[in-house]
Amino acid sequence: MATTRGFFHWPLEFPDVFHAPDGRARPNAGFDAIIGNPPWEMLRREDGAPDTRSNALLRYVRQSGQYPSCTDGHLNLYQAFVDRSLALAREGGRIGLVLPWSVATDDGAAGLRRRLFAETDIDLVAGLDNATGLFPIHRGLRFAVITATRGGPTRRLRVVTGLRTGDQLDALPARGTDDTTAAPIAVAELEQVSGPAMRIPDLRRPGDLALLLSLTRRFPRLGSPEGWHVSFGRELNATDVRGQLGASADPGIAVVEGKHLAPFTVDTSMARRLSHTSLERLIDPARIGQPRLGYRDVSGVGNRLTLIAAIVPARSVTTHTVFCVRERLDPHPQHFLCALLNSYVLNAVVRTLMGGHVTTTLAAHLPVPTWRGDDRDLGIARLARRLAERLGTAQTSARLQALVAHRFELTRGEFAHVLDGFPLVPSADRHAALRSFDRLAEARAGTPARSR
């Protein structure tokens, strides 16, 4: 049966690694080094076919007890390989793996990150962009090279990202030597900036970590009781309405998708329609009776902007590519929060912490000032509403970005640092925002402010 099924048992295949010459188990059994580039493939259950190879493999990984980081959530095969590497390396053994960048950021890999931090001493996380074709696959994919020593825990790790060539990898200083190219970050700080998900931030410039820590220390989490205490969620899944959507000329409810959202605005002119009868079977119409704040799920760090939010109009419904606030918010606070989500400041935070999606977990842990209702907050809300109604100008947008930066209590140097991180935004727009920031600072020179 073992021959027929191809069973593989590590101690039998490598007895000298796991047993002493006299046959007794070695006290520190395992390999001295494990090096690999495991497969990156989502393992999904195939409904209605319980005996497929994919279902059998998924069931084994979930239930065998040998992959403790793979018991729930979406499963990518690389996660099982990392779990296995931790089991097979000896105490003090070295592990070096090439993995997708999702290992650093995805919610589904949070358990794996916690295990890596607890059981290995990670000395380097190197983030690679494939823009120059370092690997012969899609140029938009990002990778992580992780090197660690089995036996942990990790207290501090080096993070260097934005690498594009093999020469840049070769030039990285060896373990134990001074490294001015990598940003050292304490594991305790990871939980501070990203909550229980323990995301590893994409730190590309000096000052990124300091700004991230400063914001998360001064402002509550968006979803926390001390903050806005709001949650985001989906309204419709596209598969639930497949075959029921018509052209925009058909009567019914507009179905808003992520592609219909731009900062502050929603364009439903080309949206498909869902009949009222079909809608009532899928969602309580009261949920969509009021305008509510939503943001696009899918984005990328290489886009002009990453976090894109708008007020979804009443009597329309969103698909799974848009997350909407579940709680009822009054108009002014809702427009104020929309302005914060569309700000360069929160976009900069999201870019350091996201993978391919702006998940609801990530949104819930963003550091966001609460609504005070004073003249400054009302001013931000009114400008955001003008932009939502397409009544604003470039000057309106610049002033709003400056007001929000002041609301986040940024110094001029910090705001300039944030703006420099958006090279695809026209330089004229960024300069206008900085000039508006300066004018506001001069107008408020008589009030206490943080040092420039």
448 pLDDT exceeds 70? no
Output the DSSP codes for 148-166: EEET---SEEEEEEEE-SH
Q: Which CATH class is domain 232-443?
A: alpha beta
Which has the higher per-residue pLDDT, 260 or 52?
Answer: 260
Lowest-confidence pick of 61-70, 210-219, 284-293, 435-444: 284-293
Report the amino acid identity of residue 64.
Answer: S
User: What average pLDDT does the segment 4-17 reach?
Assistant: 89
pLDDT confidence of residue 449: 46
42 pLDDT exceeds 60? yes
- pLDDT band at residue 243 using 50, 70 and 90 as cut-offs: low
348 pLDDT exceeds 70? yes
Average pLDDT, the chain: 89
Q: Output the six-digit token pair for 236.
A: 């419709």
pLDDT confidence of residue 446: 63
User: What average pLDDT does the segment 321-339 reach?
Assistant: 96
pLDDT digits 0-9 by tens, 374-408: 999 999 999 999 999 999 899 999 999 999 999 99
335 pLDDT exceeds 90? yes
Which has the higher per-residue pLDDT, 328 or 173?
Answer: 328
248 pLDDT exceeds 50? no
Q: Is the pTM of this model over 0.85?
A: yes
pLDDT confidence of residue 103: 95
* Three-class SS state of 106: coil
Which has the higher per-residue pLDDT, 230 or 355?
Answer: 230
User: What average pLDDT does the segment 415-422 reach?
Assistant: 96
Report the amino acid identity of residue 394.
Answer: A
Least Cα distance to 384 among 392, 375, 376 occurs for 392
Instruction: Identify how many contiguous H helices and E strands the chain contains and give both numbers.
Output: 18, 18
Burial of 355 (0-12, 13-18, 19+ CB in 10 A): buried
- pLDDT band at residue 245 using 50, 70 and 90 as cut-offs: low
Instruction: Return the percent helix, strand and coil in the chain, to nearest 5.
Output: 40, 20, 40
Report the amino acid identity of residue 406.
Answer: H
447 pLDDT exceeds 70? no
Which has the higher per-residue pLDDT, 323 or 136?
Answer: 323
CA distance 106 to 78: 13
pLDDT > 70 in the chain, percent: 91
Q: Mean pLDDT highest for which of 4-8, 187-191, 275-279?
A: 187-191
- pLDDT band at residue 452 using 50, 70 and 90 as cut-offs: very low
Which has the higher per-residue pLDDT, 223 or 4?
Answer: 223
**Architecture field, domain 2-204:** 3-Layer(aba) Sandwich (3.40)
Q: Output the six-digit token pair for 89.
A: 């390396």
Dihedral sign for Cα atoms in the order 145, 148, 154, 159: negative
Q: Where are the domains of the chain?
A: 2-204, 232-443
